[in-house]
């Protein structure tokens, strides 16, 4: 329990540092985007503003997610972590749609930008985001890993802006700016869509990606004393902590039922599956849930 508590504080501290680094640079970026007249930088400013909100929400929800369970929140507050991603994803989609509209308009009417200013902001972008990546790379939770990869993408985006600014300092090709904006927007949109899909998968209580119900059932049936399984259900609380429930039909004459249940529990990773409920029955016992599964033509849920 102590190790878990320490890790929780480490996760919150990492997210807090990343949040303030990102927010501080976002303010500079918004000012610099208007000063340089760069739609590419303003695109990334909106992206980084959403990132700051996301990091702030992730930090806030990470702190409250460790609260003890209550009569209304029987699994605790872990699921609150998903709210930050969902809110930020929707905000980011709206903001990027607005920027794409203006960037596409600039393709036919490119405007001059201050390339040296763009280059200076790009250098700062690489430094700020790089510092946040270094802070987050030691994280072990799914939230920290996702934030770390997002910050790596931000850093690479600023490398692209740096290259574009260098090109515009040599050649008078202001159309490079909206092209960069559209490119960055499409990359961000793809990643936002991918992450929102993960959030919805958890909210819809889909089985975790690394859990195969058929393989689990097959392995359980190989355990001596297990006659059959039904009513197998698995879902994730927050994308990191999973739940599993199953009904075992025990062969008649079996003595050590607790040992069988423990062996079945051992078939799943105890670090990921925090709540495993195994109900045992004997042939002929009444099980409405199990009958419902079989009536639907399925051997498991």
Q: How confident is the model at residue 10 (pLDDT cuts 50, 70, 90)?
A: low
Q: How confident is the model at residue 129 (pLDDT cuts 50, 70, 90)?
A: confident
DSSP, collapsed to helix, strand or coil, labels residue 227 as: strand
What does the pLDDT read at residue 297?
Answer: 41
Distance between CA atoms of residues 3 and 72, nearest Å: 27
**Per-residue pLDDT at 198 exceeds 80:** yes
Which has the higher per-residue pLDDT, 220 or 46? 220
- Quick: pLDDT tens for 25-64: 888 888 888 888 877 678 778 777 877 887 788 788 777 8
Q: Which of 4-18, 132-146, 252-266 has the lowest mean pLDDT?
A: 4-18
Q: How far is CA 244 from the centre of its chain?
A: 21
Question: Regarding beta strands 273-281 and 242-250, do their DSSP bridges make them parallel or antiparallel, or are they unpaired?
Answer: parallel
DSSP, collapsed to helix, strand or coil, labels residue 247 as: strand
**Per-residue pLDDT at 177 exceeds 60:** yes
**Per-residue pLDDT at 197 exceeds 80:** yes
Longest dimension (CA), the chain: 86
Distance between CA atoms of residues 197 and 97, nearest Å: 18
Contacts of 90 (CB under 8 A, 6+ apart): none
- Quick: pLDDT tens for 62-80: 778 778 888 888 887 877 7
Residue pair 273/243 in contact by the 8 Å Cβ criterion: yes
DSSP, collapsed to helix, strand or coil, labels residue 105 as: helix
Structural domains of the chain, ranges and CATH numbers in brackets: 2-203 (1.20.1510), 213-295 (3.30.70.1350)
Q: Taking the CA of residue 145 as centre, how many other CA atoms within 13 Å lie in the half-sphere pointing to its CB?
A: 6
Rounded to 5 degrees, φ, ψ at 184 are -65, -45
- Quick: pLDDT tens for 90-110: 777 777 787 788 778 878 877
């Amino acid at each position: 329990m102590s190790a878990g508590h320490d890790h929780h504080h480490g996760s919150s501290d990492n997210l807090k540092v990343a949040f303030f680094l990102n927010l501080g640079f976002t303010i500079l970026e918004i000012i610099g985007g208007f000063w340089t007249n760069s739609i590419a930088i303003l695109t990334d400013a909106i992206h980084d503003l959403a990132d700051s909100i996301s990091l702030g929400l992730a930090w806030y929800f990470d702190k409250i997610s460790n609260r003890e369970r209550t009569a209304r929140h029987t699994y605790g507050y872990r699921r609150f972590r998903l709210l930050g991603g969902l809110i930020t994803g929707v905000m980011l989609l709206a903001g990027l749609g607005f920027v794409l509209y203006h960037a596409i308009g600039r393709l036919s009417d490119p405007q001059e930008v201050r390339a040296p200013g763009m280059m200076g902001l790009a250098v700062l972008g690489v430094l700020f985001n790089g510092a946040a990546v270094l802070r987050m790379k030691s994280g072990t939770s799914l939230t920290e890993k996702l934030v770390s990869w997002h910050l790596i993408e931000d850093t690479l985006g600023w490398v692209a802006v740096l290259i574009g600014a260098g090109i515009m300092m040599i050649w008078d090709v202001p159309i490079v700016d909206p092209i960069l904006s559209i490119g960055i927007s499409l990359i961000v949109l793809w990643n936002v869509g991918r992450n929102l899909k993960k959030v919805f998968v958890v909210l819809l209580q889909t089985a975790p990606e690394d859990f195969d119900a058929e393989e689990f059932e097959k392995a359980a049936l190989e355990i001596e004393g297990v006659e059959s399984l039904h009513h197998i259900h698995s879902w994730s609380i927050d994308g990191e902590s999973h739940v599993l429930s199953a009904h075992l039909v025990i062969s008649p004459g079996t003595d050590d039922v607790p040992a069988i249940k423990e062996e079945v529990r051992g078939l799943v990773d105890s670090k990921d599956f925090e709540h495993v409920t195994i109900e045992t029955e004997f042939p002929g016992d009444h099980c409405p849930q199990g009958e419902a599964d079989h009536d639907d033509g399925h051997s498991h849920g």
